[in-house]
């Protein structure tokens, strides 16, 4: 079967359990089993070629530019691991079917399980190391889901998070390592990389790469000091523990080290790091395991210890070490999975995993007792069981290994570990099954159905078979070892047998077993000492680290982002000023190319007023009415300035805009407090003033710089001056630019205005339909209102000038193309005329005489402008292409008709609509806010107020 | 002549006023028009991208005036891709809006939405720097409206700050434009590219100021540290779908930086050397760090996502700041990813919000429709944290790979890798608390978690995640295309000549180029 | 240096900017809006001055004139003025709405209580009772 299919099957199959969930537990587990079985058989179909020593590879491109391709390869090593993953997977599925209770969502469980299985198979079959990384992280994620499967258990959630954090960290480090490796070799294909041992080991980046990759492997395989996450992962359902923490996930790290063995091993760095970590882990795990009371914790730490053992073997870098390692991987997978499942059975039957509450179970659950005892003895390294064989080889190898020039160091530690491992294994047997039968089990224990004890029994059969007849697997193990060694080393001739003669390993082994027995006998004493001795609790440290990181992060982030706009603005100001200053000082200023023009008294006077008003505004800003007046003066002076510097259109615009703005602000001030209290401290104000002055100088320097220099080339406006009349049909170049050369800007500009009005209207709606309405209604004006609302003089005046103003507006609009003016200014003038009506006779009166809905006016204006633009499509010209002609209707002199004028009309409409809708919205607030207002055009008789107020 | 290039801008600009004019009070009609509009945008985007894919640079001379005297629209590989991305995002966001009935919680949602699209499309398509300002203003003011859609006090306050900060940004933009015109006397980007080359090395202050101010303007848009401060509360307080749409707005800033600092101020250009080509990377690293730390620090889900957005913008900027074709290609791939991922996360946050008292990262009873929502969150979080199998991981690989050979590769790697570890931890904590621990809490009788999110909402989020998957599966072709984009950007001659030498009304070949 | 028009304009821009920044950093919305308006004036003049300063030569074509002020910056400033007018209207309205809603016109958010610690930390998984959000 194609390797693609083998990898894909579990992933595709992951969809099925969820679907079959309703169909019942058997259907759900059945379909899962079938999926794994299919993949398993598919794998077996490749056995012949593997036995023949071939390497099966398939591949398709994924991201060729990056070098990440979907290439798979199957050699002895890959086959070996895939075999374990899928084979034990089958047993686990069968076991889980009977283990999970009815409240557990089986579909969810098996979905995660298959995802995990697929990811694992992907790891061991990947040829591309980036692809391997993808699967690697996928195992972290899917195991996160599996460990946290019982979501209601805090231990489950924490264990899952811890596992994710630790293995995730490793994975990220590995990304770095793999990328470096790929850069050294120039390819991310394992098949290529494995050929370049010398190139890699000679490269200066070898050590960083090694460190990063080992970080990944150690975290995954729970090597010291990253071993602590594994026991906490035991919160998962037992099938998960049996699968992830005996056979597969934790072996991923081992697999990686075996995979990379040919190119990474054999250097002193590799030896010290890998063997060192392995030895420590091996001893540490074994010692701790002896003193745990939870069956699964004992097994967890024993797993840690055995992983250390394998790591240590791989670290030695000798062919025999690799040989022993491979063999032990196989043996450990068999007996450890069996042990976990048995532990699960006991938990299932007695509802406890606490050894102290167990004992004497051999009478009650004989089958389980037999299974677990054999498996445990194998773990202890008792002859005629497979564990013995590989442990012998490990001890053998240890005697050959010299570390730090001390011949006894490695053997001693190895024996010590073996001794403790025998100890906890024996204790497991003794304290669980032997001793007197008790009457205080949480539940009445008895052997479970075949469904539960079948799978472990099968594994135990293997344990015994390999134990007594190792030659059955010897060839296979050698093939696998060969693929680990690659071309770097010769396959060792040593063959697996039970009796090697009186070699040191035998004595060490005997010492271990004997010592183990003693440990069990003295256990109660040792336990007391152990409990008495203080030692670091990894979980506590981990939690403390995480939470300290969190609080550190908070102290860094939260104060900076607490919604203090003043600080945001200050940060922005300082950044901008600083950056500008940097750009200035690092540049060359160059000499001035323009002569300054002498200032006239008029200009000076205007400047003085502007400056005075600005200062006034700054110093009087707490009194809002005064501030507003100052604002008005500033705006006025700016428009005067525009006049002075020959920009009449700007002047008119600035002036009219100023007028409307002031009106808006007045309306707003109506509601807002009319003073700002003094809040900022003197220090703050000094600081702000400092920033402000710096900014001011910056702006001044910039302006000064540009004003005295010419552009690098003639400004494009020369073209506009030259072609305004010829091409735009207007003599007012500014207006022609607005409606023709850069009409698209104007189009956007009126849309902005339109949106502004819509926004304001929408906001008013929301406010008036929300709680604010009530607040407005019960609001007491904080400043006394004038007695007469609508003074007669003003009313009469506005009524009279209304038509005049409208005429002016029309005139300004019409002449706009040739003289200062145009749609925008005209629009503002018209609006001002209407606004005067509002001011004179109040909102109610005016808006009751309102004929057009302003939304419509805005929409019409924007549409008109847009359609004018589209119109030019019909003459096959681009958007907003203008055309014009001169017509002469006697007796009038000839005048111009330009499409631009229609566009300008759109502008006018949009402006009027926008301004009026805005005012409308404000006025609606005002009306709700119970401001005195009368429906009458003028107030002659104040007594009428009363009646209207009740009415209002 | 064809007008397709301008339609993405004009269509919404006509639709929106029409909605206001005709369908002001009929939400149903508005929805129909909105959907038709955004769907049409997708078709347009595809067509334009197809046009540009072979390397042709489409131009559209508004008012028939030749560049640099008139305004010009330019459609090259980059801008058309951004148009398509925007359109696709807009459709899914619109579906969610309708599904969650957000558009009924205030007035003029659809009109503002269309105007928003107009602004974004314009910003991507225009070839004129002042016109870019105008479109920035259009998209900004529309975004103000959308941001405070539905009202609410916290939202209004956040909105006010958002507007104020952006007003400062707009002011800065105008300063920059003034500087640019004063120094070069032109506004057309291609013409600028030519004229910036004319700057003599012994008078560089003017152009340096212009370049730096402009960069700051775009940095505010792209939320680069330290100018990111406006983002967290704005995005957190904005309505879910609006925040999702805003996922593209930060990208507008990124787009502008790519465009302007490859075309006008190339990093190897002497007079402007030593600024963006150095400092942008520093800022980007800071942005990555701050974003990721913020994700860990956040106490509420919405703010957490907002910081994740900042972090991902940091990644984009990091890739851009390499200023190599490979870097830009990686940046573009990651940009698409982060847009989709951020949008889906914001929508999921909105789903969660509706049946919770608040968004604090504390366990309360399971939210309505917890199981599917949790699954979606898991996927989106994986994408955002840059874990396999989703495109975040590939994007990260691309960036790390592109940074090889750069002087500060060690910094880049450690920031990126440690950063993603932090966000993995943070998202793990958040997810397990929000969705797992919730299982252990009984729902009080008196509380009604409200209805589960509508199918349409799930369709929208599912669509976004589906796009992420497609972005992953077809990473090969996509990266190939982004690479071709980057190559086009680093060989701007075709762009410049095409823009400057196409004659228009009254332009004789002599003044065709403006000099 | 001699008192030139350029100096007057440049210093005016500077002073307006300084005033604008100072008010921008105030704590109430009204002065902040005033500050933004000052900045707008400043930048409009700056943008205008990017066409350099010309006295008595408005860009209105007639046969007699030879020199014209640069019309393009004028058009740009006109656009800018209109846009900033729309923006001012919006910000005023929003500030007003925010004031009416929150009953305060402070620009800064009130400090949120930082003591409520989420329990997502790996350590304590004691289930918390669901609590009400802030109104």
Going by pLDDT thresholds of 50, 70 and 90, the confidence category of residue B514 is very low
Q: How many CB pairs under 8 A join B and C?
A: 136
DSSP single-letter state for residue A737: I
Instruction: Give me the helix-helix angle, A319-350 and A386-400, nearest 10°.
Output: 140
CB-CB contact of A909 with A860 (8 Å)? yes
Half-sphere exposure in the Cβ direction for A732 (13 Å, CA): 23
Dihedral through CA A702, CA A703, CA A705, CA A709, nearest 10?
Answer: 140
Half-sphere exposure in the Cβ direction for A418 (13 Å, CA): 31
Taking 90 as the threshold, does the pLDDT of residue B294 lie above it?
yes
Question: Which residues partner with A189 through β-bridges?
Answer: A128
What is the pLDDT at residue A295? 86
For residue A182, give Cα distances in angstroms to A134, A200, A395, A858, B490: 15, 10, 36, 62, 27
Going by pLDDT thresholds of 50, 70 and 90, the confidence category of residue B182 is very high
For residue B102, give Cα distances in angstroms to A429, B66, B151: 64, 44, 12
Instruction: Give me the helix-helix angle, A899-928 and A648-669, nearest 10°.
Output: 20
Question: Which residues partner with A898 through β-bridges?
Answer: A884
Does residue A898 sit in helix, strand or coil?
strand
The three-state DSSP-derived secondary structure of B54-110 is CCCCEEEEHHHCCCCCCCEEEECHHHHHHHHHHHHHHHHHHHHHHHCCHHHCCCCHH
Residue range A362-387: mean pLDDT, rounded = 86
Q: Which residues of B397-424 are buried (b: 16+ CB within 10 A; e: fewer)?
A: bbbbbbbeebebeeebbebbbbbbbbbb
- Smallest Cα distance from A278 to chain C, Å: 28
- Match 């759900």 to its residue by tokens: A28
Rg value, chain A, Cα = 43
Question: Which residues partner with B72 through β-bridges?
Answer: B61
Name which residue leads in pLDDT, A936 or A747: A747
Residue range B161-190: mean pLDDT, rounded = 95
DSSP assignment of B173-217: HHHHHHHHHHHHS--BHHHHHHHHHH--TT--HHHHHHHHHHHHH
Chains that touch A (3 or more CB pairs under 8 A): B, C
Interface test with B, best of C34, C37, C80, C103 (most B CBs within 10 A): C80
Selecting from C91, C102, C118 the residue whose C-beta is nearest the C-beta of B153 gives: C102
The residue extents of the domains of chain A are 267-521, 565-592+680-713, 595-676, 720-943
> How far, rounded to the nearest angstrom, does the alpha carbon of residue B112 sit from its chain's CA centroid?
18
CB-CB contact of B326 with B75 (8 Å)? no
Taking 50 as the threshold, does the pLDDT of residue B427 lie above it?
yes
Residues in A 548-577 with any Cβ partner in C closer than 8 A: 550, 554, 558, 562-567, 569-570, 573
Going by pLDDT thresholds of 50, 70 and 90, the confidence category of residue A393 is confident
Q: Roughly how many angstroms between the first and final C-alpha of chain C, as a whole number? A: 61
Please tell me the distance from the alpha carbon of residue B382 to that of residue B370, in angstroms, as a whole number.
18
Selecting from C91, C119, C122 the residue whose C-beta is nearest the C-beta of B164 gives: C91
**Lowest-confidence pick of A419-428, A578-587, A682-691, B234-243:** A419-428
Name which residue leads in pLDDT, A807 or A885: A807
CB-CB contact of B31 with B144 (8 Å)? no
Residue range A753-782: mean pLDDT, rounded = 80
- Pairing, β A56-63 against β B72-75: unpaired
User: Using CB atoms within 10 A of its CB, is residue C115 exposed (0-12), middle (13-18) or buried (19+)?
Assistant: exposed
DSSP single-letter state for residue A623: B
> How far, rounded to the nearest angstrom, does the alpha carbon of residue A824 sit from its chain's CA centroid?
48
What is the pLDDT at residue A149? 86
Name which residue leads in pLDDT, A54 or B336: B336
pTM: 0.92
Instruction: Give me the helix-helix angle, A319-350 and A471-485, nearest 10°.
Output: 120
Dihedral through CA B421, CA B423, CA B429, CA B432, nearest 10?
Answer: -100
What is the pLDDT at residue A945? 46
CB C133 to CB B360 under 8 A? yes
Residues of chain B found within 8 Å of residue C22, distances taken between Cβ atoms: none
Going by pLDDT thresholds of 50, 70 and 90, the confidence category of residue C124 is very low
Range from A823-837, B106-120, B423-437 that averages highest in pLDDT: B106-120
Percent of all residues in chain A with a pLDDT value above 90, rounded to a whole number = 22
Please tell me the distance from the alpha carbon of residue A701 to that of residue B459, in angstroms, as a whole number.
56
Residues of chain A found within 8 Å of residue B204, distances taken between Cβ atoms: 587-588, 590
What is the pLDDT at residue A678? 82
Residue range A722-748: mean pLDDT, rounded = 89
Tokens at residue A376, please?
């445990």
Taking 70 as the threshold, does the pLDDT of residue B244 lie above it?
yes
What is the pLDDT at residue C116? 43
CB B199 to CB A744 under 8 A? no
Taking 90 as the threshold, does the pLDDT of residue A570 lie above it?
yes
Residue range B223-246: mean pLDDT, rounded = 93
Q: pLDDT for B58-93, tens place per residue?
A: 999 998 898 899 999 999 999 999 999 999 999 999
Taking 60 as the threshold, does the pLDDT of residue B316 lie above it?
yes
Name which residue leads in pLDDT, B283 or A541: B283
Q: pLDDT for A164-180, tens place per residue?
A: 989 889 999 999 999 99
Phi and psi at A904, nearest 5°, equal -60, -35
What is the pLDDT at residue A868? 87
CB C101 to CB B151 under 8 A? yes
Residue range A354-376: mean pLDDT, rounded = 84
Taking 50 as the threshold, does the pLDDT of residue A889 lie above it?
yes
CB C83 to CB B170 under 8 A? yes
For residue A387, give Cα distances in angstroms to A128, A466, A720: 34, 9, 92
Q: pLDDT for A52-98, tens place per residue?
A: 888 888 889 898 888 898 999 998 899 999 999 999 999 899 888 88
Taking 50 as the threshold, does the pLDDT of residue C120 lie above it?
no
Going by pLDDT thresholds of 50, 70 and 90, the confidence category of residue C43 is very high
**Lowest-confidence pick of A20-24, A131-135, B232-236, C131-135:** C131-135
What is the pLDDT at residue A609? 94
Cβ within 8 Å of residue A889, ≥6 positions away: none
Selecting from C62, C88, C122 the residue whose C-beta is nearest the C-beta of A731 gives: C62
For residue A337, give Cα distances in angstroms to A85, A87, A92, A246, A384: 11, 11, 9, 6, 19
The residue extents of the domains of chain B are 3-443+452-501
Please tell me the distance from the alpha carbon of residue A777 to that of residue A774, in angstroms, as a whole number.
5
Please tell me the distance from the alpha carbon of residue B110 to that of residue B34, in angstroms, as a whole number.
6
What is the pLDDT at residue A472? 83
Instruction: List the single residue in C with minimal CA-CA distance to A637.
Output: C41
**Lowest-confidence pick of A100-104, A495-499, B255-259:** A495-499
Residue range A802-824: mean pLDDT, rounded = 82
Cβ within 8 Å of residue A798, ≥6 positions away: A836, A837, A839, A840, A841
A11 touches chain B (CB under 8 A): no
CB A647 to CB C77 under 8 A? yes
- Smallest Cα distance from B184 to chain A, Å: 5
Residues of chain A found within 8 Å of residue B180, distances taken between Cβ atoms: none
Instruction: List the single residue in C with minimal CA-CA distance to A765.
Output: C97
Residues of chain B found within 8 Å of residue C87, distances taken between Cβ atoms: 137, 141, 163, 167, 170
Taking 60 as the threshold, does the pLDDT of residue B239 lie above it?
yes
How many residues appear in chain B?
515
Name which residue leads in pLDDT, A370 or A491: A370
Residue range A699-711: mean pLDDT, rounded = 94
- Smallest Cα distance from A572 to chain C, Å: 11
Residue range A825-842: mean pLDDT, rounded = 79
Name which residue leads in pLDDT, B354 or C126: B354
Please tell me the distance from the alpha carbon of residue B180 to that of residue B193, in angstroms, as a whole number.
12
What is the pLDDT at residue A817? 78
What is the pLDDT at residue C131? 36
Going by pLDDT thresholds of 50, 70 and 90, the confidence category of residue A784 is low
Enumerate domains of chain C plus CATH numbers.
Answer: 9-53+71-108 (1.10.287)
Q: pLDDT for B395-407, tens place per residue?
A: 999 999 999 888 8
Taking 90 as the threshold, does the pLDDT of residue A899 lie above it?
no
Residues of chain C found within 8 Å of residue B160, distances taken between Cβ atoms: 29, 91, 94-95, 98, 107
Taking 80 as the threshold, does the pLDDT of residue A157 lie above it?
yes
What is the pLDDT at residue B429? 87
**Lowest-confidence pick of A780-789, A892-901, B480-489:** A780-789
Question: Which residues partner with A354 through β-bridges?
Answer: A294
What is the pLDDT at residue B449? 67
**Lowest-confidence pick of A553-562, A915-924, B226-235, B504-513:** B504-513
CB B167 to CB C91 under 8 A? yes
Q: pLDDT for A318-340, tens place per residue?
A: 888 888 899 989 989 888 898 98
Taking 70 as the threshold, does the pLDDT of residue B235 lie above it?
yes
CB C53 to CB A750 under 8 A? no
Q: What is the mean pLDDT of chain A?
A: 84
Does residue B407 sit in helix, strand or coil?
coil
Tokens at residue A414, please?
């190895």
Taking 60 as the threshold, does the pLDDT of residue B511 lie above it?
no
Residue range B240-257: mean pLDDT, rounded = 95
ipTM for the complex shown: 0.93
Selecting from A138, A556, A742 the residue whose C-beta is nearest the C-beta of B389 gives: A138
Residues of chain B found within 8 Å of residue A873, distances taken between Cβ atoms: 3
Range from A365-369, A453-457, B103-107, B390-394 that averages highest in pLDDT: B390-394
B454-457, long-range: CB < 8 A, 24+ apart = B454/B99, B454/B100, B455/B99, B456/B95, B456/B96, B456/B98, B456/B99, B457/B95, B457/B96, B457/B99, B457/B100, B457/B347, B457/B351
């Amino acid at each position: 079967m194609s390797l693609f299919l083998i990898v894909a099957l579990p992933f595709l199959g992951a969809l099925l359990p969820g679907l079959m969930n309703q169909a019942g537990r058997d259907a759900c587990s059945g379909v899962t089993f079938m999926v794994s079985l299919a993949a398993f058989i598919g794998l077996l179909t490749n056995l012949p070629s593997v036995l023949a020593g071939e390497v099966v590879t398939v591949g398709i491109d994924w991201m060729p530019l990056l070098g990440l391709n979907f290439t798979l390869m199957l050699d002895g090593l890959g086959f070996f691991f895939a075999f374990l993953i899928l084979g034990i997977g089958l047993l686990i599925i069968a076991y889980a079917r009977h283990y999970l209770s009815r409240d557990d969502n089986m579909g969810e469980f098996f979905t995660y399980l298959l995802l995990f299985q697929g990811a694992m198979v992907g790891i061991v079959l990947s040829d591309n190391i980036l692809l391997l990384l993808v699967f690697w992280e996928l195992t972290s994620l899917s195991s996160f889901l599996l460990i946290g499967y019982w979501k209601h258990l805090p231990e489950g959630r924490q264990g899952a998070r811890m596992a994710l954090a630790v293995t995730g960290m490793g994975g990220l480090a590995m990304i770095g390592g793999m990328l470096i490796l790929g850069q050294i070799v120039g390819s991310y294909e394992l098949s290529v990389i494995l050929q370049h041992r010398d190139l890699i080991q000679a490269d200066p980046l070898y050590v960083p790469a090694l460190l990063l990759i080992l970080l990944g492997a150690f975290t995954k395989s729970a090597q010291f000091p990253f071993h602590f996450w594994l026991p906490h992962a035991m919160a998962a359902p037992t099938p998960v523990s049996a699968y992830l923490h005996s056979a597969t996930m934790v072996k991923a790290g081992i697999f990686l080290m075996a995979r990379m063995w040919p190119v990474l091993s054999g250097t002193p760095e590799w030896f010290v790091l890998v063997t060192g970590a392995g030895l420590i882990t091996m001893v540490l795990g074994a010692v701790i395991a002896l003193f745990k009371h939870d069956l699964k914790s004992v097994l967890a730490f024993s797993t840690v210890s055995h992983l250390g053992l394998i790591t240590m073997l791989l670290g030695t870098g000798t062919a025999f070490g690799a040989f022993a390692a491979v063999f032990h991987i196989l043996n450990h997978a068999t007996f450890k999975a069996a042990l976990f499942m048995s532990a699960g059975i006991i938990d299932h039957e007695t509802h406890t995993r606490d050894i102290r509450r167990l004992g004497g179970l051999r009478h009650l659950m004989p089958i389980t007792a037999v299974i677990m005892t054999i498996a445990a003895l194998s773990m202890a390294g008792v002859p005629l069981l497979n564990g013995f064989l590989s442990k012998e080889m490990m001890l053998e190898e240890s005697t050959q290994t010299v570390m730090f020039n001390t011949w006894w160091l490695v053997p001693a530690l190895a024996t010590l570990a073996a001794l403790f491992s025998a100890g906890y294994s024996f204790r497991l047997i003794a304290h669980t099954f032997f001793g007197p039968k008790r009457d205080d089990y949480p539940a009445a224990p008895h052997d479970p159905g075949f469904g539960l004890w079948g799978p472990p029994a099968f594994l135990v059969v293997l344990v015994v078979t390999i134990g007594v007849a190792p030659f059955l697997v010897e060839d296979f193990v050698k093939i696998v070892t060969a693929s680990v060694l690659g071309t770097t080393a010769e396959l060792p001739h040593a063959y697996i047998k039970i009796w090697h003669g009186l070699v040191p390993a035998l004595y060490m082994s005997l010492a271990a077993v004997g010592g183990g027995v003693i440990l069990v006998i003295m256990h109660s004493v040792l336990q007391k000492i152990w409990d008495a001795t203080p030692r670091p609790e990894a979980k506590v440290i981990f939690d403390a680290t995480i939470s300290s990181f969190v609080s550190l992060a908070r102290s860094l982030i939260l104060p900076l982002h607490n919604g203090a706009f003043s600080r945001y603005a200050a940060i922005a100001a300082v950044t901008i000023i600083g950056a500008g200053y940097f750009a200035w000082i690092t540049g060359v200023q160059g000499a001035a190319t323009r002569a300054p023009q002498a200032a006239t008294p008029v200009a000076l006077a205007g400047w003085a007023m502007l400056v005075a008003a600005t200062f006034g505004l700054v110093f009087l800003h707490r009194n809002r009415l005064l501030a507003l007046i100052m604002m008005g003066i500033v705006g006025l002076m700016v428009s005067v300035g525009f006049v002075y510097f020959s920009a009449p259109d700007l002047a008119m615009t600035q002036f009219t805009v100023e007028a409307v703005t002031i009106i808006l602000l007045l309306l707003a001030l109506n509601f807002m407090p009319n003073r700002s209290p003094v809040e900022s401290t003197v220090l703050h104000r000094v600081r702000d003033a400092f920033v402000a002055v710096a900014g001011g100088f910056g702006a001044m320097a910039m302006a000064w710089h540009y004003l005295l220099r010419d552009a690098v080339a003639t400004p494009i406006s020369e073209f506009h001056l030259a072609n305004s009349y010829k091409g735009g049909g207007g003599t007012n170049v500014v207006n022609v630019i607005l409606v023709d050369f850069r009409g698209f800007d104007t189009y956007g500009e009126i849309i902005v205005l339109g949106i502004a009005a819509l926004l304001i209207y929408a906001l008013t709606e929301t406010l008036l339909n929300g709680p604010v309405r009530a607040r407005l209604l019960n609001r007491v004006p904080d400043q006394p209102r004038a007695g007469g609302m609508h003074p007669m003089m003003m009313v009469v005046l506005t009524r009279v000038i209304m038509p005049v103003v409208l005429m002016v507006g029309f005139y300004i609009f019409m002449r706009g193309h040739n003289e200062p003016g145009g749609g925008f200014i005209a629009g503002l003038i018209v609006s001002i005329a209407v606004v005067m009506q509002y001011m004179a006779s109040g909102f109610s009166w005016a808006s009751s005489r309102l004929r057009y809905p302003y939304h419509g006016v805005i929409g019409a204006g924007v549409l008109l402008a847009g359609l004018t633009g589209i119109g030019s499509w019909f003459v096959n010209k681009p958007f907003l292409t203008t055309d014009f002609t001169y017509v002469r209707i006697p007796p009038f002199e000839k005048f111009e008709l330009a499409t631009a004028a229609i566009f300008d009309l759109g502008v006018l409409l949009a402006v009027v609509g926008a301004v009026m809708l805005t005012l409308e919205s404000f006025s609606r607030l005002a009306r709700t806010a119970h401001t005195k207002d009368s429906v009458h055009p003028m107030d002659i008789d104040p007594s009428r107020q009363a009646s209207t107020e009740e009415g209002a | 002549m064809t007008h397709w290039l301008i339609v993405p801008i004009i269509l919404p600009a006509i639709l929106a006023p029409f909605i206001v004019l005709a369908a002001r009070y009929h939400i149903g009609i508005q929805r129909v028009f909105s959907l038709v509009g955004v769907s049409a945008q997708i078709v347009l985007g595809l067509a334009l991208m197809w046009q540009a894919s072979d390397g042709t640079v489409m131009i559209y001379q508004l008012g028939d005036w030749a560049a640099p005297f008139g305004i010009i629209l330019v459609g090259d590989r980059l801008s058309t891709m951004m148009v398509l991305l925007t359109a696709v995002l807009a459709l899914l966001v619109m579906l969610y809006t309708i599904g969650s009935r957000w558009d009924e919680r205030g007035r003029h949602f659809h009109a503002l939405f269309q105007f928003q699209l107009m602004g974004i499309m314009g910003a991507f398509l225009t070839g004129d720097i002042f016109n870019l300002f105008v479109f920035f203003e259009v998209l900004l003011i529309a975004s103000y409206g959308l941001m405070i859609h539905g009202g609410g006090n916290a939202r209004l306050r956040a909105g006010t700050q958002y507007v104020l900060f952006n007003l400062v940004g707009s002011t800065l933009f105008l300063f920059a434009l003034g500087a640019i015109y004063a120094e070069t006397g032109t506004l057309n980007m291609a013409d600028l590219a030519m004229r910036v080359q004319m700057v003599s090395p012994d008078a560089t202050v003017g152009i340096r100021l212009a370049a730096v101010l402009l960069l700051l303007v775009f940095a505010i848009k792209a939320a680069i540290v330290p100018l990111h401060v406006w983002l967290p509360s704005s995005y957190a307080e904005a309505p879910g779908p609006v925040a999702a749409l805003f996922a593209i707005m930060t990208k507008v800033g990124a787009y502008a930086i790519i465009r302007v600092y490859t075309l006008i101020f190339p990093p190897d250009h002497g007079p402007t050397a030593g600024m963006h080509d150095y400092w942008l990377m520093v800022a980007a690293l800071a942005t990555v760090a701050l974003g990721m730390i913020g994700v860990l620090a956040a106490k509420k889900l919405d703010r957490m996502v907002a910081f994740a957005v900042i972090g991902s913008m940091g990644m984009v900027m990091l890739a851009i700041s390499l200023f190599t074709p490979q870097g830009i290609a990686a940046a573009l791939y990651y940009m698409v990813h982060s847009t989709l991922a951020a949008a889906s996360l914001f929508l999921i946050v909105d789903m969660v919000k509706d049946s919770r008292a608040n968004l604090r990262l504390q366990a309360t009873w399971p939210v309505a429709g917890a199981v599917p929502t949790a699954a979606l969150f898991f996927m989106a979080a994986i994408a955002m944290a840059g874990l396999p199998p989703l495109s975040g991981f590939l994007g990260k690989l691309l960036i790390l790979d592109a940074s090889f050979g750069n002087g500060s590769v060690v910094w880049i790697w450690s920031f990126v890798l440690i950063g993603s570890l932090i966000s993995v931890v943070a998202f793990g904590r958040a997810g397990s608390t929000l969705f797992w621990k919730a299982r252990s809490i009984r729902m009080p009788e008196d509380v009604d978690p409200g209805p589960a999110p509508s199918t349409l909402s799930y369709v929208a989020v599912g669509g976004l995640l589906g796009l992420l998957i497609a972005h992953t599966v077809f990473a090969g072709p996509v990266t190939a295309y982004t690479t071709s984009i980057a190559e086009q950007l680093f060989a701007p001659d075709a762009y410049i000549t095409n823009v400057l030498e196409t004659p228009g009304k009254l332009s004789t070949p002599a003044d065709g180029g403006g000099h | 240096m001699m008192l030139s028009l350029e100096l007057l304009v440049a210093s005016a821009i500077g002073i307006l900017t300084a005033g604008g920044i100072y008010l921008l950093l105030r704590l109430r919305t009204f002065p902040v809006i005033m500050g933004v308006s000052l900045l707008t004036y400043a930048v409009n003049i700056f943008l205008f001055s990017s066409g350099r300063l010309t006295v008595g030569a408005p860009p209105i074509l007639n046969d007699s004139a030879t020199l014209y002020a640069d019309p393009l910056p004028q058009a740009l400033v006109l656009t800018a003025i209109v846009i900033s007018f729309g923006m001012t209207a919006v910000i005023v309205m929003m500030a007003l709405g925010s004031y009416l809603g929150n009953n305060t016109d402070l620009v800064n958010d009130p400090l949120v209580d930082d003591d409520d610690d989420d329990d997502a930390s790996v350590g304590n998984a004691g289930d918390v009772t669901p609590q009400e959000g802030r109104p």
